[in-house]
Amino acid sequence: MATTDDGAFWTIIAYLIAGLGFWGGMGFLADHFLKTNFLTVLGMFLGMATGLYLIWIRFIKESPK
């Protein structure tokens, strides 16, 4: 867990890039095998949404005390 603001910044950036890369890649593979051309964009949106959700869970949502 990031203990500094700088560490938190890089963790947030990593979540966004990893979400885009993983789900965008899954969409690209699905496009390739299904002969479509919209699943890459859909996968990138899904990746961004999941990255933002993970950021919200980890940094924004208040933890019970």
DSSP line for 24-57: HHHHHHHHHHHT-SSHHHHHHHHHHHHHHHHHII
- Domain assignment present for residue 30? The answer is yes
- Domain assignment present for residue 65? The answer is no
Total domains, the chain? 1
Average pLDDT for runs of 10 along the chain of length 65: 72 94 97 95 96 91 67
Contacts of 17 (CB under 8 A, 6+ apart): none
Q: What is the dihedral of CA 54, 9, 61, 65, to 10 degrees?
A: 120
Return the pLDDT at 60: 84
The total number of residues shown for the chain amounts to 65
Q: Which domain holds residue 27?
A: 5-60
